[in-house]
Amino acid sequence: MLKETFDASKDILKASLVQAGAYSPIRTEPRSPDELLGELFSDVQINQVYPDGKTFVDLVPKERLRSIQQEYQLLKQDPHFDLREFIKRHFYDIAETTHKPKPYVFDKNQTIEKHIDDLWEHLERRNRKDRGSLLALPYKYIVPGGRFNEQFYWDSYFIMIGLATAGRWLELEAMLKNCAYMIRKYGFIPTANRSYFLSRSQPPFFSHMVRLLAEHKGRRILIEYLPLMLAEYKFWMRGQNKITDHAFRRVVKLSNDQILNRYYDNKSTPRPESLRQDTATANSPHANKAKLFLDLRAAAESGWDFSSRWFNDPQDIKTVATTDIIPVDLNALLYHLELTIADAYKTLLQPLLVRKYTMLAARRKELISKYCWDETAGFFVDYNFRRSRNTGVLSLASVVPLYTGVATNDQAAAVANRLKKDFLKTGGLVTTLNATGQQWDAPNGWAPLEYMAIKGLERYGQNELAATIARRWTDLNKQVYKKTYRLVEKYNVIDSGGLGGGGEYLLQDGFGWTNGVYLALVKDLQNKKRPTANS
């Protein structure tokens, strides 16, 4: 009976792999609003018709964009022309475009856990048809909150952790199926389901999502999603045989047989949602604008937009050089993807393919240690392959090799010591040691990084430090909730106020990954307090 099951699985896999080989971006991608609206778009963004640049790119037009653009070209010459009135007349109001439920009413008597339980419903969206820049997805999904009303890639994994903790497996699986749908349709998982995000992805957590569901439904999930994991791997490794001048797209060749990855973007223009900021950053007669825009976009793909990690001068965003950098976290995540693919082939009894992907993972692990481990600092650090040295910026990206198992025991112990000495603050771990005004720097802490640090430390037996971080982080979440009755995107882990700041936009409420990580950590802390049967 077991043999028949495996034979059937192989037949399904064979057909699926043929399909997976065809997973590539659709021939005609939906065009971004900046491409469709041209001068009208830039005029709206540069003149800051909306305080937040993301507002306009998310509006739904009332008619064809070409018609709106043509009318704008005719009317803008009128000395009495009102740009704000024109936009209001041709686009639906933001409240009509995001499918938001009624405004959330805070109950000051609610526990934080009940508040999060209610928020799952409040943050749930469904859109089966394209609406403006919003791209259709077949299943419901949880959004981060605030200005973020799409299914964001890496946010989704940490939201899923909370859904799993709450036993909401149907919602979790629906979000995973949406990710699979995007791989089938676009050849990869974009930053989120918006047309202006179709040139970039985000940190590749798809294999982690698959593992999470497999813990609940069994190893058959690894087989079911294997073709999709292979397709994502193909996206990140595409062009490795076309490399000139060290790099091509997301692949970097350090020597003939040394391949690692970087963040990238398929466009080198200002980000539509941040056109005004990007244009201002590039406002220098000496700037290589195309390279600068590409590096800003690549930093956005990293999820760390923005951080001193990506700057040659930690205090100056104009020195951004993301595409010159091999990020330690990205490569640790791809290591996990390679091992998960190997494990799926193991389930299918395919020893040659198991060996292939296991060897790829082992080689990547070796190269991460060679290029991204700083023995003097006792820390993993990003590597600038253009300058042939590490960047020198110490950040919480160093915990991802612990989270995915890349680190050796000695490396993990050294990272733990450095975290305790320099990063541990009253509210948890600070993201970097640099205070720059960027949101992915001091004094901010972020739920996904706290979670990976805690779980990574636990993986290497650093349980006391892990528990300390978990308590401090969840206590900070509770303190801010008690004062404001909200959960937010990022927190100030150094100062007593607790609310994070910096970056391109105001602090956002919601907040998907904060909710998910809080539930998981609180449950873990409660389980650790419970006496065991032998105690």
pLDDT, one tens digit per residue, over 393-415 is 999 999 999 999 999 999 999 99
pLDDT score at 107: 79
Total domain count for the chain?
2
- In this structure, is residue 484 part of a structural domain? yes
User: Cα separation of 79 and 73, whole Å?
Assistant: 13
Label residue 498 by pLDDT band (50, 70, 90): very high
Last residue of a domain, one of 67, 96, 125: 96
- In this structure, is residue 489 part of a structural domain? yes
Q: In the predicted model, is pLDDT for residue 28 greater than 90?
A: no
- In this structure, is residue 221 part of a structural domain? no
Domain holding 59, by residue range, is: 33-96
- In this structure, is residue 451 part of a structural domain? yes
The H-or-E segment that residue 298 falls in is: helix 289-302
Burial zone of 31 (CB within 10 Å; 0-12 exposed, 13-18 middle, 19+ buried) = middle
Catalytic residue check, 305: yes
Buried b / exposed e along 434-456 (16+ C-beta atoms within 10 A): bbbebbbbbbbbbbbbbbbbbbb
Residue (of 246, 250, 226) closest to 238 by Cα position: 250
- In this structure, is residue 91 part of a structural domain? yes
Catalytic residue check, 338: no
pLDDT score at 94: 67
Whether omega before 138 lies within 30 degrees of 0, making that bond cis, reads: no
Last residue of a domain, one of 96, 130, 146: 96
Last residue of a domain, one of 96, 120, 136: 96
CA angle 527, 530, 533 (to 5 degrees): 115
Q: In the predicted model, is pLDDT for residue 74 greater than 50?
A: yes
Neighbouring C-beta atoms of residue 108, cutoff 10 Å? 6
- In this structure, is residue 53 part of a structural domain? yes
Burial zone of 52 (CB within 10 Å; 0-12 exposed, 13-18 middle, 19+ buried) = middle
- In this structure, is residue 397 part of a structural domain? yes
User: Cα separation of 131 and 152, whole Å?
Assistant: 17
Regarding predicted confidence, which is higher, 479 or 100?
A: 479
User: Cα separation of 221 and 347, whole Å?
Assistant: 10
Q: Which of 305, 329, 338, 343 is catalytic?
A: 305
Q: Which of 58, 489, 509, 524 is catalytic?
A: 489
Residue (of 235, 267, 272, 268) closest to 251 by Cα position: 235
Regarding predicted confidence, which is higher, 19 or 108?
A: 108
pLDDT score at 154: 98
pLDDT score at 346: 98
Candidate from 22-31, 126-135, 288-297, 313-322 with smallest mean pLDDT: 22-31
Q: In the predicted model, is pLDDT for residue 176 greater than 80?
A: yes
Give this prediction's pTM. 0.94
Q: Helices marked H in 134-205 — which ranges?
A: 153-165, 169-186
For 341, the token pair is: 């693919």
- In this structure, is residue 448 part of a structural domain? yes
All residues at 6 or more sequence positions from 42 whose CB lies less than 8 Å from its CB, including other chains: 34, 275
